[in-house]
Every structure is written in C-alpha cells, then in structure tokens.
Amino acid sequence: MIILVVGIPFIYRQLWVAIWGLFAYYRRPQHLRGGPAGCRPVGKLGNRNLSKAKGPQEHGNRQPLRAGIAQQALEGKVEALFVYPIKSCYPVEVNSTRIVETGFEFDRQFCFASWHEPSTTANSTSEHAPKIGSSAYGDRRPHWEFMTQRQNPSLTHLKVEIWRPDPELKDYSEKDEIVQSGGCLIVSFNYAPPFTSIGNIWSTILAKAKARNLTAVPRWTFRLPMDPSIEQINDRGYQHETVRVWRDEVAALDMTNEIPKNVLHILQSFLFEDARRRSPSSYARLRGTPPALRLFRVDNSFKRAVYKCAPTQAQLGYQAHTGYQDSVRRRFS
C-alpha cells in the first residue's frame, strides 16, 4: 500500500516532466533545440569553411611566383577561424571572434587533467637532481598534469558547443543560472562502455534501438557553466587547485562535479583507452585502473602571466596573460 501511495504520484510526476520537456523542446526553433533556455549557439552552422574543396586556381599563394602574381601570392587570407574552449578537444568554428586579454574569446579556458604520481623520488642533494623549474623537477612531485592530444588523441572526439545568453530570445531570464554564468559549454562524445554494470548494458541497448542500427553506440553529454560568478563558485563547491601546463603552475577551478558521476567514469575509460593502445607497459603498471581525471577552468582570480613568448611588461605597459594555451621560451626583442 505504501509503495502504491508513493509510487503512483512519482510516476505521474515523471510522466508530466517528460511531456513538458518534449513540448519545450519542439516549441523552440530547430537551431536552438538541445541548448539551455535563453541561449544561442556560437559558431558557424553547417559545413566548415575548410571542408569546402578548392582547387589550386583559387589559391593565389599556391601558384608559381611569377612577376604578375607575386603581390597576390604574398597576401594572406584567413580560410577558417577556430577556437578550442577545452584544450585539445574538438574545436568550434566561428565567423568572427573578439580578442580579449587571454587571446581569442572562449579559447582554451578549460582543460582536462590527470593525476601524476611520480614513480621514483630523486634526492634533491644529489648531483644528478634535476634543476628547479625544469620538467623533470616538476615530475618529482604528485600533481595534476594537463592532458593534450599528444598523449590522448581521443580528446579530439569530444565535441564542444558554445551557448551564450541572448536577451532577444523569448525564454531568456536574467535569473537563470546559465544566463548568470555567461552561458555554457555542452560536451558530448560517442562511446560503447564495457558491460560492467546494468546501466552500461541498458544504455548500449537503448542506443542501438533508437538508431535502429546494431553498430550504434551511446552518446554521452554534460554541461559546464562558461564563467561562473564568485557566488556560483561558492554555492557549487568548486575547489581551487594547481595544474601543470608544461613547466607552468597554473591556478585552476576544479569543475569536475558538473559531470555526472556515471558519465565521468565512462569518460575516464574512454580517454584511458589511449594509454592501453599507445603504452601497453604503462597500462600494465596501472593494473587496468585509470588515473584520476578532473576538468579544470581558468581561475580568473589568479591569472596566468606569460613571460616566455610575449612582450615584456615594460614594452606593453601591462603584464600579458593567457589561459591554457601552449607557450614557448622565445621572447620578443
């Protein structure tokens, strides 16, 4: 009797939530479906500019440098413009973008990182001890290490969408959390998880039935607030951490709790496949257990200063900053 009293209202509520969700989904214009209320996608819709086949006649700089076309050959042309909201993940092509303090707007504001546990501990008093500030010196300490396509090519299969608030939309509301955080990222990837749980088995069966294709695999999705306010950071319990990006120690916000736990475990397995393929010895040493995985955002309260590949503060009149972009040693003269 108790089960009926509790279960029937619960089922009734879930049914109405599903119906209302479908109504809200199909009520929106087609290009806005799947995104948060009051937001519009950023980026170029349809085919990418680089996907358009072009012959050598359309590229002046590919022709021989004869006198008549020398000037045309030296003129540059931007064929396509990309930003990478999450470092090393799938890019977003844009028709135009703003230049902000850290470079292109939205570019490399997030990154994935794995926990690095040193295999050996070097004696700091030894003559063979690495120099302070070198990569080898940093590797001696446990730390969060950024992930890049060089070691994890599967990152390129994580598709990223940028959604920004638009006051002109009918469902726009300043009280909405996504609007207050300046929009969000929607991250998705396709992956057939191992049959280690009933949930994984059910999701695989459901994906095949929905697509009516035995080769179909589940699609996993999660959202990330674009630029959470201080109040949102405190309310959501984001922790301040440090992530190593090459030799730099970068202040970061741990936003991993925005990823549902089951999706995080699947994402961990998905990215860990690279270690098994590329380095069987490392895979064997880890005994099949993937290292801890986290998703970080640039911590705007502790900006990453750039000294190696940027003009000096004396030259610019201010200190140059960046996000999770790579940097090189060479300094401008």
Query: pLDDT tens digits for 11-43?
Result: 767 676 566 555 555 555 656 777 898 999 998
**Span of 46-50, 74-78, 159-163, 311-315 with lowest mean pLDDT:** 46-50
Pair of tokens at residue 164:
């920004």
CB 94 within 8 A of CB 43: yes
CB 109 within 8 A of CB 250: no
What are the φ and ψ backbone dihedral angles of 325, each rounded to 5 degrees? -70, 155
H or E element: which one contains 231?
helix 230-236
Mean pLDDT of the 113-142 span: 62
pLDDT in tens, 227-283: 999 999 999 999 999 999 888 888 999 999 999 999 999 999 898 887 677 666 555
Mean pLDDT of the 303-315 span: 81
Domain of 240?
A: 34-44+79-120+134-188+219-322
pLDDT higher than threshold 60 for residue 183:
yes
What does the alpha-carbon distance between residue 270 and residue 267 come to, in Å, rounded to a whole number? 5
- The answer to whether residue 178 is domain-embedded is yes
- Return the percentage of the chain with pLDDT > 90, whole number: 34
- The answer to whether residue 207 is domain-embedded is no
Label residue 131 by pLDDT band (50, 70, 90).
low
What does the alpha-carbon distance between residue 179 and residue 167 come to, in Å, rounded to a whole number? 9
Query: pLDDT value at position 45?
Result: 64
Pair of tokens at residue 192:
């057939």
Pair of tokens at residue 243:
């992530």
Pair of tokens at residue 178:
């996504």
- The answer to whether residue 74 is domain-embedded is no
Label residue 59 by pLDDT band (50, 70, 90).
very low
Query: pLDDT value at position 331?
Result: 46
Tell me how far CA of residue 262 lies from CA of 202, 209, 294, in angstroms: 13, 21, 14
- The answer to whether residue 223 is domain-embedded is yes
Pair of tokens at residue 324:
């999770």
Pair of tokens at residue 205:
């069966």
Residue keyed to tokens 């501990």:
121
> If you average pLDDT over each of 57-66, 118-127, 224-233, 322-331, which comes out highest?
224-233
Label residue 54 by pLDDT band (50, 70, 90).
low
pLDDT in tens, 272-308: 887 677 666 555 555 556 778 999 999 988 888 887 7
What does the alpha-carbon distance between residue 302 and residue 306 come to, in Å, rounded to a whole number? 13
- The answer to whether residue 17 is domain-embedded is no
Q: Which residues 6+ apart lie within 8 Å of 139 measured at CB?
A: 116, 118, 130
- The answer to whether residue 265 is domain-embedded is yes
**Span of 113-117, 136-140, 275-279 with lowest mean pLDDT:** 136-140
Number of domains in the chain: 1
- The answer to whether residue 161 is domain-embedded is yes
- The answer to whether residue 59 is domain-embedded is no
Burial (CB < 10 A; 0-12, 13-18, 19+), residue 7, is exposed
Mean pLDDT of the chain: 79
Query: pLDDT value at position 61?
Result: 47
Query: What is the Cα gyration radius of the chain?
Result: 24
